[in-house]
Structure 1
Amino acid sequence: MNAFTLRTLCTAAALAASGIAFVGCTTTRPDDRASSTSSRTSIDAQVDATLSKLYDTVPDAREMVGKSRGVLVFPSVVGGSLGIGAEYGRGALRVNGRTVAYYSTTAGSIGFQAGAHSRAVIYLFTTQEALDTFRKSKGWTAGADASVAAATMGANGRIDTNTMRQPVIGFVLTNLGLEAGVSLQGAKITEVRV
């Protein structure tokens, strides 16, 4: 088997696996009210846990979330790749401390990569204009519809002051803590009914 055929087979397998994973994430019937209520309750509980972890990991986070106009939390963005990568997650937008809508995030990538990962992704909308632009969109893409400043820690262990001035700030948490040097550009975020 030559390299081109092997690469084609691997690409097809990765696409098939990604498709199956995404279908499995969206099999809830829209008319199943008990399931919808359960899904919303589950997402909200995961959002609470993710915010608690953020507050424990990043010293300035609680104050930043409190001052922001809105916070969008994806507790578990799961990705996998074998040459072609895909990520998917569901989360909630909170304004003034309460959930106002639910969203999904998807992203894809091409290049030499293999493996799977799970991480939490949090977006802070620090200005009303940034939040309004996000909420009015029919599908918002990080980097295309708004620049997202990835939160970075300074040498003093605090969030960099330049980051704190940006209209949209992104945090990525793994089991090890705040992930540094990560790009959130290209993530497509769409409102969903849960």
Structure 2
Amino acid sequence: MFKYLRLILAIPMLLVAVSCSTQQQAGATPGTDPDLEAKARASLQQLAGSAPRTQQLMQAAKAVLVFPDILKVGFIAGAQGGKGVMFAPDGSVMGYYTARAVSYGLQAGGQTFSEAMFLMSDSAIEYLNSSDGWSVGMGPSVVVVDAGMGKSMTTTTLKSDVYAFIYGQQGLMAGLGVQGQKISKYTP
């Protein structure tokens, strides 16, 4: 019984420790993270290759927030976290963000995945930058798009503030749980 309790408590602690680690790149410009930017750009290319309609979505978006590597682990209690980059329509970097979440419920396993959030309005960007972190489920309306909808959506059907794509899942995570995600700005 105590082994399981320790495991349940250790998983979120490990995830927090991993997501809080900050390694500065040798020779990198202060306030930038070239490795994270490269991973985010490659991840966005992967999404565009698997859901070609996202190209149109990128052209209509005011910004795209990409988390190339989110790690999710859990056993009854779970946690996830990762770092990402917000890109302007011209491809320039608008900022760096962390995404963290905790969950509780019938769940077990671990996985990594990528997430891209297309911010369609200036108010969504302003809310993200002016609030003390952005909790998905509060603030702008967020629509999670699956692969099937991503192939059939058009720019004329877009009505929400944010469209989120989850893709590139690796690993095994099963179960049902209640979860909220918090996105906050950080400086590398």
Counterpart position of 1:26: 20
For the structure 1 residues 185 and 127, does the alpha-carbon distance in structure 2 shift closer, same or farther, using more than 3 Å as the test? farther
Deviations 1:33-70 (A, max 9, x none): 63765971111001111110111111210111121001
Report SS of the residue matched to 1:143: coil
Structure of higher RCO (CA pairs closer than 8 Å, 6+ residues apart): 2
Gaps of 5+ in 2: 171-176
Given the alignment of the two structures, is residue 12 of structure 1 paired with residue 12 of structure 2, yes or no?
no
TM-score by length of 1: 0.81
Counterpart position of 1:123: 117
Instruction: Spell out the pairing of 1:71-110 with structure 2 (5 A cutoff).
Output: 71-96=64-89, 97-110=91-104
Report SS of the residue matched to 1:132: helix
Answer 1 or 2: which has greater strand percent: 2
Larger Rg: 1 or 2? 1
Q: Of the candidates 133, 139, 144, which is equivalent to residue 145 of structure 1? A: 139
TM-score by length of 2: 0.83
Deviations 1:63-88 (A, max 9, x none): 11121001100001101011111000
Shift of 1:154: 5.2
Name the count of aligned residue pairs.
Answer: 180
Deviations 1:8-57 (A, max 9, x none): 6424322223212321332336xx56376597111100111111011111
Shift of 1:89: 0.4
Given the alignment of the two structures, is residue 42 of structure 1 paired with residue 47 of structure 2, yes or no?
no
For the structure 1 residues 168 and 17, does the alpha-carbon distance in structure 2 shift closer, same or farther, using more than 3 Å as the test? same
Deviations 1:77-111 (A, max 9, x none): 10101111100000001113211110100111111
For the structure 1 residues 36 and 88, does the alpha-carbon distance in structure 2 shift closer, same or farther, using more than 3 Å as the test? farther
CA distance in 1, matches of 2:27, 2:84: 16
Gaps of 5+ in 1: 1-5, 177-182
Report SS of the residue matched to 2:152: coil
CA distance in 2, matches of 1:156, 1:91: 21
Deviations 1:112-170 (A, max 9, x none): 11110111011111111222112211211111122210114558942277862211110
Q: Which moved more, 1:129-138 or 1:78-87?
A: 129-138
Counterpart position of 1:55: 48
Instruction: Tell me the C-alpha RMSD between the 2 structures.
Output: 2.8
Counterpart position of 1:168: 162
CA distance in 2, matches of 1:121, 1:155: 16
Identity percentage of aligned residues? 24
